[in-house]
Amino acid sequence: MKRTLVLIFLVTMAAGLWVPGFTQAATPPDTLVVGVSSDIHLLDPAVSSDNYDWRQIYPCYDRLVKYKVVNGEGSTEVEPSAAESWQVSQDGMVWTFKIRKGIRFDDGTPLDAKAVKFSFERVLKIGKGPADNLGAIQTVDVVDDYTVKIALKNPFGPFLQTLATDAASIVNPAVMKHEKDGDLAQGWLAQNTDGSGPFRLKEWIRGERCVLEAKPDYWGGAPKLKQVVIRFMRESSDRRMALERGDIDIAEGILIDQIPALEKNPDLVVRRYPSQLVEYVYLNCQKPPLDNPLVRQALNYAVDYQGIIDYVLQGNGVQMRGPVPKGMWGHKPDVFQYHRDVEKAKELLQKAGVSKGLELTLIYSERRATWEQIATVLQSNFADIGVNLKLQLMANPTLRDKIDRGDFELCLGAWSPDYADPSMFMNFWFDSNNWGLPGNRSFYKNEKVDSLIRRALALSDQQERIKLYNEAQDIIMADAPYIFLYQTQTIVPMRKNVKGYVYNPMLESMYNFESIYKE
């Protein structure tokens, strides 16, 4: 995955890439520069299900509620934001929100109850992945200019927390002037923003950078930064060197083996946080021979999980046990867990009738720095059971298109919950109505599992939900629609003068840009 950059000095400076022999000044004190591995896919909060897109979308919009910050740490509890207060009916079916006055969109028009109604209904009409976060909504009604009433289809425990997700971003209804052929302005919002958040999109140059401009008149207080620059730098080594030189302030996705050197640099600080981000392999259950659960089980037994954690992650992870990660309520600590057993894997392949000459292709993107190493380990592991695994690296937008169409056999992926509820894993990953990018990326279908997880989602009693999810987890582990690799630890290297950063496990890959500053 090496590449050669032949750039003249002027282009180098403009693109913000480091090349040996050239010197670049430290970033301006009112500008935060973040180095990331891959480009944005799109910017429409009603369409994107990608945390890497949300990094740019989230600060451009307000939502009715937001996650609290308690003693400098991110919390999974929510507090008022665009909504100053709310009430819920005794049966949990109707929520009434009072909208805060004085909030304005980028064009100066007020954020009101009509804007909330428009935004939520737009998400539901478009019906892409984010619509699942608002799927409990039956109707949205305007009571008066600053009061909105939301009726649910059924009691839904995490409803308030879903309103802190990117899907619940409040969009200016004026975007409809950009509508084409009834697309609800999807084409325009894919490349633009129009919200009331503390930042607005200034520019997006594909393959180079995205610039967010702070709004000094933001109702919640002017951000301390004037702008945020997200620079797309594919190679981990490029990001590391740029961070050390002061060309960027924060570096995402640095290879684990490069972290110790950064920790020794007196100009840097490396922050570590326990994460709900998990990484796993999608096994396309609709593609022969992966439609046979015996083959999927064999591949699960082939993997050296601890080897990946020890040598690729340098110990910065833990093997997943079941689909609900440790730390999330609903985690089942005694659910079956696969381990490396080459002979068992060979036996299962023989039983499935595909023990000789099996060839499969694993696709992955540059999105995460460790994926090429993991792909190579998987290739070696599968070779031990007689499976020839071909590796195919591609741009992340291309990979996501293939996932949505089901045009793959195996694919490396990552996932983090939008809100603190096991449905973010169980219902998104396994409901057969969610095939593709919405979440069920293995194209798995089991009617019993569908029934269990749908019943669990409709209940408000947490203990009853856990019982249903536990039963589903046992079935899922036998069906083996994914290879559950590990939970990660989030590692954020940054310049020492960056202050005010807050990590929230519910906002993986997103930043509180509005309160970050530099000394």
What mean pLDDT is reported for the chain?
92
Amino acid type, 62:
D
Global confidence as pTM: 0.70
Q: Residues 168, 169, 175, 178: what is their CA dihedral angle, to the nearest 10 degrees?
A: -80
pLDDT score for 461: 78
Alpha carbon 516 to its chain's center: 21
Positive or negative torsion for Cα 441, 444, 450, 453? negative
- Domain residue ranges of the chain, discontinuous segments joined by +: 33-228+497-518, 274-489
C-alpha span between 197 and 140 (Å, rounded)? 22
H runs (alpha helix) in 322-415: 342-352, 371-383, 396-405
Alpha-carbon distance values, 70 to 74, 180, 320 (Å):
6, 44, 28
Exposure letters 114-139 (e unless 16+ CB within 10 A, then b): ebbbbbbebbbebebbbbbbbbbbee
Are the CB atoms for 27 and 247 separated by under 8 Å? Answer: yes
- Bridge partners of 440, per DSSP, are 435
Positive or negative torsion for Cα 72, 77, 83, 85? negative
Fold of 274-489: Dipeptide-binding Protein; domain 3 (3.10.105)
C-alpha span between 433 and 245 (Å, rounded)? 48
- Residue pLDDT tens, the chain, 519 long: 333 333 333 333 333 333 333 334 579 999 999 999 999 999 999 999 888 899 999 999 999 999 899 888 888 778 999 999 999 998 889 999 999 999 999 999 999 999 999 999 999 999 998 998 899 999 999 999 999 999 999 888 789 989 999 999 999 999 999 999 999 999 999 999 999 999 999 999 999 999 999 999 999 999 999 999 999 999 999 999 999 999 999 999 898 889 999 999 999 999 988 788 999 999 999 999 999 999 999 999 999 999 999 999 988 899 999 999 987 889 999 999 999 999 999 999 999 999 788 999 999 998 888 999 999 999 999 999 999 999 999 999 999 999 999 999 999 999 988 788 899 999 999 999 999 998 999 999 999 999 999 999 877 778 999 999 999 999 999 999 999 999 988 899 999 999 999 998 888 889 999 999 999
328 three-class SS: coil
CATH annotation of 33-228+497-518: 3.40.190.10
Q: Do domains 33-228+497-518 and 274-489 have the same CATH topology?
A: no
pLDDT score for 473: 99
Amino acid type, 132:
D
pLDDT score for 15: 38
C-alpha span between 374 and 488 (Å, rounded)? 14
pLDDT score for 487: 94
Six token digits for residue 272? 């570590």
Task: Return contacts of 10-15, CB within 8 angstroms, 24+ apart.
Answer: 15/208, 15/209, 15/231
